[in-house]
Amino acid sequence: MDTQGNPAARILILKGLDGDGWKFAVHGGSPKGRDLAAAGRAALTFYWPAQARQVRVRGRESAELSAADFLARSPAARAEALLGMQSRPLRNLADHGEATRAALERVAGEPGLVPPEWMLCALKPESVEFWQGDRSCRHTRVSHRCDGAEWEGELLWS
Protein backbone atom coordinates (compact mmCIF):
# COMPACT_ATOMS: atom_id res chain seq x y z
CA MET A 1 0.00 0.00 0.00
CA ASP A 2 1.49 3.34 -0.99
CA THR A 3 0.95 6.64 0.80
CA GLN A 4 -2.11 7.33 -1.43
CA GLY A 5 -3.68 4.06 -0.31
CA ASN A 6 -3.04 2.22 -3.60
CA PRO A 7 -2.52 -1.50 -2.97
CA ALA A 8 0.41 -3.33 -4.59
CA ALA A 9 1.44 -7.00 -4.62
CA ARG A 10 4.87 -8.54 -5.34
CA ILE A 11 6.37 -12.01 -5.25
CA LEU A 12 9.36 -12.13 -2.90
CA ILE A 13 11.52 -14.89 -1.48
CA LEU A 14 10.79 -15.84 2.11
CA LYS A 15 14.27 -15.73 3.64
CA GLY A 16 13.39 -17.31 6.96
CA LEU A 17 10.94 -17.60 9.80
CA ASP A 18 11.80 -17.32 13.50
CA GLY A 19 10.64 -15.68 16.73
CA ASP A 20 11.17 -12.22 15.22
CA GLY A 21 8.80 -12.93 12.34
CA TRP A 22 8.59 -13.92 8.69
CA LYS A 23 11.71 -12.57 6.97
CA PHE A 24 12.16 -11.11 3.50
CA ALA A 25 14.72 -8.73 2.01
CA VAL A 26 14.16 -5.54 0.03
CA HIS A 27 16.13 -2.59 -1.28
CA GLY A 28 14.97 0.33 0.84
CA GLY A 29 14.97 2.61 -2.21
CA SER A 30 12.61 0.41 -4.26
CA PRO A 31 8.86 1.16 -4.39
CA LYS A 32 8.13 -1.74 -2.03
CA GLY A 33 10.87 -0.57 0.35
CA ARG A 34 9.28 2.87 0.48
CA ASP A 35 5.73 1.48 0.80
CA LEU A 36 6.76 -0.81 3.66
CA ALA A 37 8.55 1.99 5.48
CA ALA A 38 5.47 4.22 5.20
CA ALA A 39 2.88 1.59 6.14
CA GLY A 40 4.73 -0.44 8.77
CA ARG A 41 2.31 -3.25 7.96
CA ALA A 42 2.27 -6.01 5.37
CA ALA A 43 0.44 -9.14 4.24
CA LEU A 44 1.92 -12.35 2.83
CA THR A 45 0.31 -15.13 0.83
CA PHE A 46 1.78 -18.58 0.09
CA TYR A 47 0.33 -21.29 -2.12
CA TRP A 48 1.36 -24.92 -2.58
CA PRO A 49 -0.56 -26.16 -5.66
CA ALA A 50 0.45 -29.82 -5.23
CA GLN A 51 -1.09 -29.88 -1.74
CA ALA A 52 -3.86 -27.37 -2.50
CA ARG A 53 -2.77 -25.34 0.50
CA GLN A 54 -2.71 -21.62 1.14
CA VAL A 55 -1.32 -19.67 4.07
CA ARG A 56 -2.12 -15.98 4.56
CA VAL A 57 -0.35 -13.80 7.10
CA ARG A 58 -0.93 -10.21 8.18
CA GLY A 59 0.91 -8.11 10.70
CA ARG A 60 3.36 -5.42 11.63
CA GLU A 61 6.53 -5.08 9.63
CA SER A 62 9.88 -3.74 10.75
CA ALA A 63 13.17 -3.59 8.89
CA GLU A 64 16.84 -3.32 9.70
CA LEU A 65 19.93 -2.94 7.55
CA SER A 66 21.39 -6.37 6.86
CA ALA A 67 24.85 -6.86 5.41
CA ALA A 68 24.70 -10.59 6.29
CA ASP A 69 21.62 -11.17 4.14
CA PHE A 70 23.16 -9.29 1.24
CA LEU A 71 26.55 -11.01 1.38
CA ALA A 72 24.91 -14.46 1.40
CA ARG A 73 23.53 -13.80 -2.10
CA SER A 74 25.06 -14.91 -5.37
CA PRO A 75 27.43 -12.48 -7.14
CA ALA A 76 24.80 -11.95 -9.87
CA ALA A 77 22.09 -11.10 -7.32
CA ARG A 78 24.46 -8.75 -5.47
CA ALA A 79 25.45 -7.03 -8.72
CA GLU A 80 21.81 -6.41 -9.65
CA ALA A 81 20.97 -5.05 -6.21
CA LEU A 82 24.05 -2.84 -6.12
CA LEU A 83 22.76 -0.99 -9.15
CA GLY A 84 19.95 0.30 -6.94
CA MET A 85 17.80 0.89 -10.02
CA GLN A 86 14.93 -1.53 -9.32
CA SER A 87 11.64 -0.44 -10.92
CA ARG A 88 13.10 2.67 -12.58
CA PRO A 89 12.53 3.04 -16.35
CA LEU A 90 15.18 1.20 -18.43
CA ARG A 91 15.98 2.78 -21.81
CA ASN A 92 17.02 -0.49 -23.45
CA LEU A 93 18.31 -3.98 -22.59
CA ALA A 94 21.86 -3.12 -23.69
CA ASP A 95 22.05 -0.53 -20.87
CA HIS A 96 21.08 -3.27 -18.42
CA GLY A 97 23.75 -5.65 -19.73
CA GLU A 98 26.45 -2.99 -19.54
CA ALA A 99 25.53 -1.85 -16.03
CA THR A 100 25.33 -5.45 -14.80
CA ARG A 101 28.77 -6.29 -16.21
CA ALA A 102 30.27 -3.26 -14.44
CA ALA A 103 28.48 -4.16 -11.18
CA LEU A 104 29.74 -7.77 -11.41
CA GLU A 105 33.28 -6.42 -11.69
CA ARG A 106 32.70 -4.30 -8.59
CA VAL A 107 31.40 -7.35 -6.69
CA ALA A 108 34.45 -9.37 -7.72
CA GLY A 109 36.84 -6.55 -6.75
CA GLU A 110 35.09 -5.62 -3.49
CA PRO A 111 33.45 -8.78 -2.13
CA GLY A 112 32.39 -7.03 1.10
CA LEU A 113 30.43 -4.31 -0.70
CA VAL A 114 26.85 -3.81 0.62
CA PRO A 115 24.34 -1.25 -0.67
CA PRO A 116 23.49 1.20 2.11
CA GLU A 117 19.75 0.51 1.88
CA TRP A 118 19.66 -3.30 1.92
CA MET A 119 17.01 -4.21 4.47
CA LEU A 120 15.95 -7.46 6.07
CA CYS A 121 12.30 -7.11 6.99
CA ALA A 122 10.44 -9.10 9.63
CA LEU A 123 6.69 -9.40 9.60
CA LYS A 124 5.38 -10.08 13.11
CA PRO A 125 2.08 -11.87 12.50
CA GLU A 126 -1.22 -10.70 13.98
CA SER A 127 -3.31 -13.15 11.97
CA VAL A 128 -2.50 -16.36 10.13
CA GLU A 129 -5.03 -18.26 8.05
CA PHE A 130 -4.64 -21.80 6.74
CA TRP A 131 -6.70 -23.01 3.78
CA GLN A 132 -6.81 -26.62 2.72
CA GLY A 133 -8.43 -27.26 -0.65
CA ASP A 134 -10.72 -30.22 -1.17
CA ARG A 135 -11.65 -31.90 -4.48
CA SER A 136 -15.35 -31.77 -3.64
CA CYS A 137 -15.04 -28.07 -2.71
CA ARG A 138 -15.46 -28.63 1.03
CA HIS A 139 -12.37 -26.54 1.67
CA THR A 140 -11.21 -26.10 5.25
CA ARG A 141 -10.21 -22.70 6.60
CA VAL A 142 -8.73 -22.07 10.02
CA SER A 143 -8.02 -18.52 11.11
CA HIS A 144 -5.72 -17.66 14.03
CA ARG A 145 -5.59 -14.17 15.53
CA CYS A 146 -3.38 -12.69 18.19
CA ASP A 147 -4.66 -9.95 20.49
CA GLY A 148 -1.11 -9.10 21.54
CA ALA A 149 -0.62 -11.93 24.01
CA GLU A 150 -2.83 -14.92 23.18
CA TRP A 151 -3.54 -16.66 19.89
CA GLU A 152 -7.10 -17.82 19.20
CA GLY A 153 -8.19 -19.98 16.32
CA GLU A 154 -11.56 -20.51 14.64
CA LEU A 155 -12.97 -22.21 11.58
CA LEU A 156 -14.27 -20.02 8.76
CA TRP A 157 -16.72 -20.71 5.95
CA SER A 158 -14.87 -21.22 2.72
Ligand X SMILES: Cc1cc2nc3c(=O)[nH]c(=O)nc-3n(C[C@H](O)[C@H](O)[C@H](O)COP(=O)(O)O)c2cc1C
Sign of CA dihedral 42, 14, 154, 124: negative
Q: Compute the least distance from the CB of residue 86 to ligand X, in Å.
A: 5
Q: Which is nearer to ligand X, 26 or 120 (CB)?
A: 26
Cα–Cα dist 132/53, whole Å: 5
Cα–Cα dist 83/3, whole Å: 25
Query: Which residues have CB under 8 Å from 10's CB, separation 6+?
Result: 32
Count CB-CB contacts under 10 A for residue 125: 19
Binding ligand X (rule: CB under 6 A), the pick from 2, 12, 108, 151 is: 12
**Per-residue contact track with ligand X, 22 to 41, x per CB under 6 A?**
----x---xxx---------
Binding ligand X (rule: CB under 6 A), the pick from 11, 50, 93, 149 is: 11
Q: Compute the least distance from the CB of residue 99 to ligand X, in Å.
A: 17
Q: Which is nearer to ligand X, 16 or 143 (CB)?
A: 16
Cα–Cα dist 81/13, whole Å: 14
- Binding residue count for ligand X, defined by CB under 6 A: 11
Q: Which is nearer to ligand X, 67 or 142 (CB)?
A: 67
Within residues 70-129, the interface with ligand X by CB under 6 A covers 86-87
Q: Are 93 and 141 in contact (CB under 8 A)?
A: no
Q: Compute the least distance from the CB of residue 20 to ligand X, in Å.
A: 18
Q: Which is nearer to ligand X, 49 or 109 (CB)?
A: 49
Cα–Cα dist 39/42, whole Å: 8
Name the site residues for ligand X (rule: CB under 6 A). Answer: 8, 10-13, 26, 30-32, 86-87
